[in-house]
């Protein structure tokens, strides 16, 4: 698997070959895994993600006109438009990029056009947030290139608005936050009510994180995601009408669930409250190196996501079942928006090969689908490289 430096070097080489001049700088942003705390971010809850060693890179250079030329290597596509004209994105990746540029321009003046090239190795549709990595990398490129000096929080909030306004998905900030702020060998303890974070050592001596990609694309994730946002917002409104002191999600306690007569709302809020508890419990388990408890909390999260939040699917459930049918996987759960994507598993390091073989063989036998196994390392969050100082490339 390519390193970040190799990805940047390849991007620069392709940029120069395509645009006949070197880029001024390259920005990058990593994908992420989420250890625990699923579907909590958009309701001001808690989560524990970290960035992984897969990145999206964006190289950029100035133009003398008002044209924007953006090339995507991975999607084999190109978009060209004028800064002063309306552009209709034709593909999903174009929607993300056009959203980033348009919202950036609404906040800050862009004096001239530019060339940009996008490439990377974050798996697409696998639940490790390739879209957030794309947004965060591109906005970091614009921010550094045009010397705007947005801080990290402003960058990720802009990226979130791209999803809200251009993708019509009312997502929270977890993915962008992890991509921007992560540190190597750490997990982020995120509080979305205060928009603050602390770092916890991610040491899992003797165990590794193994992601099993179901190879089921999350076709329902967008619509169901928005549906869950509406359901939980309705639950909050319902409780506020009964108890005026409940004005935010942080005011809701387990004892309040019986006031929700709508069973769906009750189930959604039970997941929310129990998942926040699990995030705190996992933080303690990590500090105490209690991996047995850690694994049990992961599995409890999956059961809650399956039963109460109802965002799993039969393929994910079977991957979890396969994983737990071993003595060397301590815990397993679906990760990400759901309805496809991957599971995250805490596996004894010495049994990783055996684990991967068992998962792939069993999954193929059940569904006739090739599952994809990935083992990731934690990395730092987004950044930029001025090409003339840090990157060597060869045309």
Number of helices (H) and strands (E) in the chain: give both, helices first.
11, 12
Find the catalytic residue in 175, 185, 191, 251. Answer: 175
Q: How many CB atoms lie within 10 A of CB 212?
A: 29
pLDDT digits (tens, 9 = 90+) for 287-331: 999 999 999 999 999 999 999 999 999 999 999 999 999 999 999
Instruction: Judge if 4-202+379-387 and 207-375 fold alike in CATH terms.
Output: no
Q: Is residue 213 among the annotated active site residues? A: no
Average pLDDT, the chain: 93
At residue 392, the pLDDT reads: 41
Query: Which two tokens mark 287?
Result: 């500090």
Do strands 77-82 and 67-72 pair parallel, antiparallel, or not at all (unpaired)?
Answer: antiparallel
| Cα gap 155→390, rounded to integer Å | 23
120 sits in which H/E element:
strand 114-120
Among 27, 30, 107, 103, CA closest to 61: 27
Find residue 384's DSSP bridge partners: 27
Q: Considering the chain, what percentage of its residues have pLDDT values greater than 70?
A: 97
| Cα gap 31→56, rounded to integer Å | 8
CA 218 to chain centre: 14
At residue 100, the pLDDT reads: 97
DSSP letter, residue 378? B
Residues 6+ apart with CB under 8 A from 41: 47, 171, 172, 173, 174, 177, 190, 192
CATH fold label, 207-375: Alpha-Beta Plaits (3.30.70)
3-class state of residue 215 by DSSP:
coil
Q: Which residue's entry shows tokens 């992560």? A: 182
Assign residue 215 a region (left: φ > 0; alpha: ψ between -120 and 50; beta: otherwise): left
pLDDT digits (tens, 9 = 90+) for 321-356: 999 999 999 999 999 888 888 999 999 999 999 999
Q: Are residues 120 and 126 in contact, defined by beta-carbon separation less than 8 angstroms? A: no
- Per-residue pLDDT, averaged over 137-153, amounts to 96
pLDDT band at 225 (very low <50, low <70, confident <90, very high): confident
Answer CATH for 4-202+379-387 from 1.10.3720.10, 3.40.50.300, 3.30.230.10, 3.30.70.520: 3.30.230.10
Phi, psi of 79, rounded to the nearest 5 degrees: -125, 135
Q: Are residues 291 and 299 in contact, defined by beta-carbon separation less than 8 angstroms? A: no
| Cα gap 137→4, rounded to integer Å | 13
C-alpha distances in Å from residue 292, one per residue of 47, 212, 233: 20, 20, 35
Do strands 342-348 and 207-213 pair parallel, antiparallel, or not at all (unpaired)?
Answer: antiparallel
Among 117, 120, 121, 125, CA closest to 141: 117
Query: Which two tokens mark 362?
Result: 């069993």
| Cα gap 30→380, rounded to integer Å | 8
Do strands 114-120 and 67-72 pair parallel, antiparallel, or not at all (unpaired)?
Answer: parallel
| Cα gap 4→56, rounded to integer Å | 9
Q: What is the pTM of this model?
A: 0.90
pLDDT digits (tens, 9 = 90+) for 72-84: 999 999 999 999 8
Domain ranges of the chain: 4-202+379-387, 207-375
Assign residue 338 a region (left: φ > 0; alpha: ψ between -120 and 50; beta: otherwise): left
pLDDT over 60 (residue 391): no
């Amino acid at each position: 698997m390519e390193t970040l430096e190799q990805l940047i070097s390849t991007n620069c080489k392709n940029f120069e070959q395509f645009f006949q001049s070197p880029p001024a700088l390259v920005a990058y942003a990593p994908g992420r895994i989420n250890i625990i705390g699923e579907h909590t971010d958009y309701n001001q809850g808690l989560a524990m993600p970290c960035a992984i060693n897969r990145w999206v890179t964006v190289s950029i250079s100035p133009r003398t006109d008002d044209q924007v030329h953006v090339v995507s290597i991975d999607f084999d596509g190109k978009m060209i438009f004028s800064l002063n004209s309306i552009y209709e994105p034709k593909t999903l990746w174009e929607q993300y990029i056009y959203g980033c540029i348009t919202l950036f321009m609404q906040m800050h003046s862009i004096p001239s056009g530019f060339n940009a090239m996008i490439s990377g190795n974050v798996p697409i549709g696998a639940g490790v947030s390739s879209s957030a990595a794309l947004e965060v990398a591109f906005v970091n490129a614009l921010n550094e290139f045009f010397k705007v000096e947005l801080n990290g929080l402003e960058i990720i909030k802009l990226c979130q608005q791209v999803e809200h306004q251009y993708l019509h998905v009312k997502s929270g900030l977890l993915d962008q936050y992890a991509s921007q702020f992560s540190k190597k060998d750490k997990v982020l303890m995120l509080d979305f009510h205060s928009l603050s974070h602390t770092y916890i050592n991610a040491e899992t001596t003797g165990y590794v994180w193994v992601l099993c990609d179901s190879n089921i694309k999350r076709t329902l994730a967008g619509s169901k995601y928005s549906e869950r946002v509406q359901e939980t917002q309705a639950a909050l409104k319902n409780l506020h009408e009964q108890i005026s002191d409940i004005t935010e999600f942080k005011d809701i306690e387990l004892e309040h669930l019986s006031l929700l007569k709508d069973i769906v709302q009750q189930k959604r809020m039970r997941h929310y409250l129990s998942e926040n508890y699990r995030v705190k419990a996992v933080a303690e388990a990590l500090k105490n190196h209690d991996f047995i408890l850690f694994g049990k909390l992961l599995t409890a999260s999956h059961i809650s996501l399956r039963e109460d939040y109802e965002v799993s699917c039969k393929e994910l459930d079977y991957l979890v079942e396969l994983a737990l049918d071993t003595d060397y996987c301590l815990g397993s759960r679906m990760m990400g928006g759901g309805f496809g994507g991957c599971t995250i598993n805490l596996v004894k390091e010495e049994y990783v090969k055996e684990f991967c073989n068992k998962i792939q063989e069993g999954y193929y036998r059940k569904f006739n689908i090739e599952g994809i196994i990935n083992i990731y390392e934690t990395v730092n969050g987004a950044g930029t490289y001025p090409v003339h100082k840090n990157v060597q490339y060869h045309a």
